[in-house]
Structure 1
Amino acid sequence: MKRIKLTGIALLLIVAGCATSKITSSWKAKNAAPHKYNKILVLGLVRAADRTLQENMENHMAGDLKARGYNAVASVQEYGPKAFDKMDEQTAMNKIKNDGIDAVVTIVMLNKEKEKSYVPGHIYYYSPYSYYYNHFWGYHTAIYRRIYEPGYYVTNTRYFWESNLYEMDTQQLIYSVQTQSFNPSDSEALGHEYGQLILKDMVKQQVIQ
């Protein structure tokens, strides 16, 4: 009979090998159609403590748009980390217009939650008719390890995101998408995965070419 043994580390590696982000909902305006924008600004609205995350999210989204033939720029690269923080609406809109930007994609962190979970030291799956159950010492050894090799706690992080596409001539919302990201390995990986996920949905929704 075969025995399958999964350690806590093995379980984490299995999880890490899967995609960490998923779309929970998306919407587009009724009259929205694929449009070839002249210049798209990717604007991350993230708290200062997550500045590196903002840069990675913006850069990957802009890079994915460029890969599809769009002229796209990241706000941190174009305007610095605080972009339009001290501008009124008219000043900001004039700057955007003068820079040739006709669409903006926002990336907003709606929430960030941390949660603890317990990972057992060893998890064994035995057939009830296997050697480990029918033989005293095999059973003793298996149970001993399970009892005396304790598990540990890990802290997981869950992000809740929203991205919107606005056309600047009217400032109207064209597309909106909400996602969750669970325990990404780092901000670089999260930015890469998020950009591809959103662009794929934009194409599917026929928002961009």
Structure 2
Amino acid sequence: MKQVKFFAILLISGVLWSCSPTTRVTGSWVNSSARGTMLSGKTVFIASLTRNMEVRTKLENALASEAALKNVKVVKSTDFFSPDFYQKSPTETTLMSKIQNSGANYILTISLINKQSETRYVPGSAGYAPYPYYGWYGGFYSYYNYWRPMFYEPGYYVTDKTYFMETNLYDMANSKLVWSAQTETVNPGSIDAFVNSYPKILINQMAKDGLLPM
């Protein structure tokens, strides 16, 4: 029974990690000259800077959906650029010219800037409750039989993975940085779990920073 319980805990933990990644904004910045800028009614070109096509597509789609709720039109790099466009690094003139042709007023980039892994030990569930009136304190054998399964229930190691993301917003008119935010995501689990939570947090932060309506 204890062994079944142990594996159940591991299974539940895995499900929680895959469904509920923990993401928080660790810092954000708004260019003083751009304060009061509102993105509602504007067009934003979204570029997820990763080679993983699945991540890029799902993340840009999720961000586009969240932005639409704030009346922001989005052009996704996955729709605008063909996969072979990234095979060779384009010149600045070529890249900016292509993005300008999309009708975008701003460019939003999302990139992974760091990843860390930390292993920690989770002890077994044996505890200490020296209450004399408990029946199993009546003798050694009853005490031993009660606690023996917990003595042998093993602890286990888990590895926490932390991803640090940076999101930047640039003005197409002058290529200047308008807004920037860094986030920390612990145990994102699956791609789907991450893209379901990250865009909401990002859009909420942009609203808090005055770029979108609350």
Quickly name the TM-score band, shorter chain normalised. 0.7 to 0.9
Counterpart in 1 of 2:92? 89
Amino acid across the alignment from 2:67: L
Aligned pair partner of 2:45 in 41, 47, 60: 41
More displaced 10-residue stretch of structure 1: 174-183 or 54-63: 54-63
Which whole-Å CA distance do the structure 1 matches of 2:149 and 2:179 have between them? Answer: 54
Q: Deviations over 1:102-127 (max 9, x none)?
A: 1111111011223333333x314443
Structure 1: segments with no counterpart, 5+ residues: 1-5
Counterpart for residue 61 of structure 1: 63
Which residue of structure 2 lines up, in the alignment, with residue 74 of structure 1?
76
- Considering fraction of residues, name the structure with more strand: 1
Q: Is the 8 A contact 1:37 1:102 kept in 2?
A: no
Q: What TM-score, normalized to structure 1? A: 0.82
Q: 1:139 to 1:179 in 2, by over 3 A?
A: farther
Do 1:117 and 1:153's aligned partners in 2 also have CA atoms closer than 8 Å?
Answer: yes
Tell me the residue number matched to 2:10: 9
Q: 1:3 maps to what in 2?
A: none
Which stretch shows the higher mean deviation, 126-135 or 62-71?
Answer: 126-135
Match of 1:111 among 111, 114, 117: 114
Corresponding residue for residue 145 of structure 1: 149
- Number of equivalenced pairs: 201
Query: Could you tell which deviates more after superposition, 31-40 or 86-95?
Result: 31-40
**Distance in 2 separating the partners of 1:138 and 1:80:** 71
In structure 2, distance between residues paired with 1:178 and 1:186: 20
Alpha-carbon distance in 1 for matches of 2:146, 2:59: 46
- Cα offsets for 1:6-30 (capped at 9, x unmatched): 8543872696375511111111111
Give per-residue Cα distances to partners, 1:7-64, cap 9 Å, x unaligned.
5438726963755111111111113222335321111112x3x432232222211211
Encode CA deviations 1:148-193: one digit per residue, 9 max, x unaligned. Answer: 2223333332111000111111111111111111111211110121
Task: Report the CA distance between 1:81 and its aligned residue.
Answer: 4.1
Q: 1:185 aligns with which of 163, 186, 189?
A: 189
Distance in 2 of aligned mates of 1:152 and 1:189: 25
Shift >6 Å, 4+ stretches: none
Partner residue of 1:28? 30
In structure 1, the residue corresponding to 2:204 is in which secondary structure? Answer: helix
Rounded to whole Å, the distance in 2 between the matches of 1:132 and 1:192 is 50
Identity %: 28
Name the stretch that deviates more: 37-46 or 161-170.
37-46
Alignment CA distance shift 1:160-1:146 (3 Å): same
The correspondence of residues 164-179 of structure 1 with structure 2, limited to 5 A, is 164-179=168-183
Q: Secondary structure at the match of 1:165?
A: strand
Paired residue type of 1:118: Y
Specify the SS of the correspondent of 2:125. Answer: strand
Residues 1:141 and 1:118: Cα distance change in structure 2 (over 3 Å): farther
CA-based RMSD? 2.7
Of the two, which has the highest radius of gyration?
A: 2
Gaps in structure 2 of 5+ consecutive residues: none
